[in-house]
Amino acid sequence: MKKIIILSLFITIYNNLHSQKKDSLSDLKLPDIIITDVKLNRMPDLKDNVIYAGKKNEVILLTKINADLSINNARQIFAKVPGINIWENDGSGIQTGIASRGLSPNRSWEFNVRQNGYDISPDIFGYPESYYTPPTEAVEKIEVIRGAASLQYGPQFGGLLNYEFKKPNSQKPITFETQQTIGSYGLFNSFNAIGGTIKKFSYYGFLHNRSANGWRDNSRYSIFTGHISLNYQLTKKISITAEYTKMNYDSEQSGGLTDLEFENNHQKSTRERNWFGAPWNVASASLKYKVSNSFNIQLKSFATIAERNSVGYLKSINLKDSINPSTLQYNPRQVDRDNYENYGAELRTSLKYNLLGKQHILASGIRIQSAHTTRNQLGVGSVGNDFDLNVNFPQQYGRSLNFTTTNYAIFAENIFYVGSKLKIIPGFRFDIIENTIKGYINTTTSGQLNPEKRTRNIFLYGIGGEYLITNKTNIYANYSMAYRPVTFSELTPSATTEIIDPNLKDANGFNADFGYRGKVKQFLTFDISAFYLQYNNRIGSVIQNGNLFRTNIGTSVSKGIESYIELSIIDLFTKNSKIGNLSVFASNSFINAKYTKWENPSISSDPTKSIENKRVENAPNYIHRFGATYSKQKLSITFQYNSVGDVFTDAANTELANATATIGKLSGYNIMDASFSYHFFEKYNIKAGVNNLTDEKYATRRSGGYPGPGILPGNARTYFISFGASL
């Protein structure tokens, strides 16, 4: 099948070239295609009835950058967004784990993750982990809004991460795009999309398949994603859109390593029977109504029906998964299964009105959401090595739990234009959040949990501002409160020896930004800012009476500087495009993330174990990314350098790894990537690159469960080559 797809692409190219030669080779004149590295964009003051003025934000145009999109290479994709911390233990690109400002990158759970403006996670509050990442070959742009997004998109500390798919061609009834990629360790990636516009009707859809053996032993995977979007323009003022996305994958989990194993052979795997999969279905329907030039309404409903399934041998990494001599078989594996049903709707409006001789903007909305999670864990599974989710005793899962989340929210922000240069943006958000939990768990005396219900009424407020220094530069500042309810995974123990504090409290705090950004003519783009994030009631685990005790361990403060500077070298000295364009960028962040308050000194008899003034776990002191792109007409070449500081993996800042490699310091690392693209005969392209050019040995994460436990290595050197066409 792979060979047929690649062969068909070459036949298409040949036929196109042959027909052009027959027309008249001497008269053939193709237009010049000038490829330049596109700088980071910014959000406008108002988009889709949401206010972005006064907020730290970045827009990544994926269709214009050189990056390995075949595996969703996050360090290349987010290179120009300063301070993005990435967990790089998943070389498949199936799941993206990112964060900033000292927050945890765990499946991007500190962000509100969306696709085309609607939620794609199982539950925004109860279980916000994102198991699904859209294939970036289908994505036109990624919008990143830092913590100041908490008023418009929910109270998360991290902010918003929104993937916007490509749009159909408005001038043609049908267009076709294909990109076929091969690479190291059996990588084959096939992306095919179709779209167009017929009168008032437009459509866009794609099919995506990716498979590989994986760089590490026992890390093969296969993923399928399909998407369809239909839009109908009812009138000049009213349009309706319906979308559906289906994703499914099978991913073998290599498991973690001890530190000694990592040093000796980080490609090694001691687990060959661990599997993970997450069938995902996301649907959305929306209506846009431009009532007048000053008033707009948008109603967007969404649903996520999904699963999280895993089977494997999850004992500590220093315990070998071997055949039991008494049974001459492997030991039964553990089966864990989640089912998610998430339904919601958002109504957003924007109103432009006049006051005191100036036009101002009010953006407001309401949100309703209901989510249900069914969790069955610690099932006794098969003794085989395939992806078998059957359990031997269906009625005897170690845990069988039901969680629900109900959320009602109202929010509003207003841009007040003061004079010709100043914008002041106050706002608020009011949430009613209700969580319930009931079921069976084997760590209680009777097994049955007392049904519990928590209801919160949360009021958040914030204020932002912008002041124009020149027509293209401005000073901005923002203060926004944030909130993070206790999640389901924090309410249930991950091991039979773990105890949950019955008085576990929700986290709260705020984000603050102050910066200067803009452009200087055509040769310089910049954004330099300082930030301050306070995170109260942070949840973590400590040792109490020989057991892990999960509680609110303290207050953390993250502060630092984020800067992005990009310079077009040739534009600085000349406008002669014949010699091409050379742009260089530096994306730097300096982060001081520490615990400032030890909330529960009574849980330890040793006061020296206080975490006050300790570094926040998984938070590097610096993240630096540098790059250069040279482009001339149809050719573009990019080089990128990544430098990330060391991290502690527990709140106590343990230096040396324990025997099971679940805690201990991880060294900083430096990685280089190179890629190029060449466009020819107007419709075709070839792309190639090398990831981790110097074959750096590094790790960004330790795990106590899936996909570990143990230290999880990042990928070594890999390559890819890709052929594509747009017809």
Alpha-carbon distance 161 to 111, whole Å? Answer: 6
Number of domains in the chain: 1
Alpha-carbon distance 474 to 515, whole Å? Answer: 8
Q: Give the long-range contacts of residues 285-292, CB within 8 A, separation 24 or more.
A: 285/240, 285/241, 285/242, 285/243, 286/117, 286/118, 286/240, 286/241, 287/238, 287/239, 287/240, 287/241, 288/238, 288/239, 288/240, 288/241, 289/237, 289/238, 290/236, 290/237, 290/238, 291/237
pLDDT at 306 over 90: yes
Q: Is residue 12 part of a domain?
A: no
Q: Is residue 709 part of a domain?
A: yes
**Domain residues for 569?**
31-726
What's the pLDDT score for residue 552? 86
Q: Give the CATH number, domain containing residue 415.
A: 2.40.170.20
Pairing, β 111-115 against β 159-165: parallel
CA distances for 198 relative to 44, 138, 176, 181, 575, angstroms = 30, 21, 15, 31, 41
**Considering only 27-41, 49-63, 304-318, 402-416, which range has the smallest mean pLDDT?**
27-41
**Considering only 35-49, 268-282, 659-673, 701-715, which range has the smallest mean pLDDT?**
35-49
- Give the pLDDT band (50/70/90) at residue 60: very high
- Give the pLDDT band (50/70/90) at residue 1: very low
Q: Is residue 371 part of a domain?
A: yes
CB atoms within 10 A of CB 252: 27
CA distances for 22 relative to 16, 243, 497, angstroms = 10, 43, 76
- Give the pLDDT band (50/70/90) at residue 15: very low
**Considering only 190-199, 317-326, 679-688, which range has the smallest mean pLDDT?**
317-326
Angle at CA 672, nearest 5°, toward 667 and 676? 155
Q: What percent of the chain has pLDDT over 70?
A: 90
- Give the pLDDT band (50/70/90) at residue 601: low
Q: Are 674 and 689 in contact (CB under 8 A)?
A: yes
Helix (H) and strand (E) counts in the chain: 6, 37
Alpha-carbon distance 419 to 263, whole Å? Answer: 62
The amino acid occupying position 201 is F
471-483 core/surface letters (b: 16 or more CB in 10 A; e: else): eeebbbbbbbbbb
Give me the mean pLDDT over the 16-30 stretch.
37
More confident residue, 147 or 671: 671
Residues 6+ apart with CB under 8 A from 480: 147, 148, 149, 150, 151, 427, 460, 462, 464, 510, 511, 512
Give me the mean pLDDT over the 405-418 stretch.
97
**687 forms bridges with which residues in the sheet?**
677, 722
- Give the pLDDT band (50/70/90) at residue 403: very high
Q: Which of 275, 282, 285, 284 is nearest to 306 (CA)?
A: 282
Q: Is 401 helix (H, G, I), strand (E, B) or coil?
A: strand
Classify residue 417 as exposed, middle or buried by CB count within 10 Å of its CB (0-12, 13-18, 19+). Answer: middle
Supply the mean pLDDT for the chain: 89
Note the pLDDT tens digit of each residue in 70-110.
999 999 999 999 999 999 988 889 999 999 999 999 999 99
Q: Is residue 575 part of a domain?
A: yes
**Considering only 190-194, 653-657, 706-710, which range has the smallest mean pLDDT?**
706-710
Q: Is 705 helix (H, G, I), strand (E, B) or coil?
A: coil
- Give the pLDDT band (50/70/90) at residue 221: very high
More confident residue, 371 or 446: 371
- Give the pLDDT band (50/70/90) at residue 678: very high
Q: Is residue 448 part of a domain?
A: yes
Q: What percent of the chain has pLDDT over 90?
A: 71
What's the pLDDT score for residue 547? 61
Alpha-carbon distance 294 to 359, whole Å? Answer: 10
More confident residue, 154 or 297: 297
- Residue recorded with tokens 């008249």: 24
Q: Is residue 155 part of a domain?
A: yes
Q: Are 89 and 649 in contact (CB under 8 A)?
A: no
Give me the mean pLDDT over the 621-649 stretch.
95
What's the pLDDT score for residue 604? 57
Q: Is residue 7 part of a domain?
A: no
Note the pLDDT tens digit of each residue in 491-538.
776 655 567 777 888 999 999 999 999 999 888 999 999 999 999 998
Note the pLDDT tens digit of each residue in 141-162.
999 999 899 999 988 899 999 9
- Give the pLDDT band (50/70/90) at residue 716: very high
- Give the pLDDT band (50/70/90) at residue 446: low
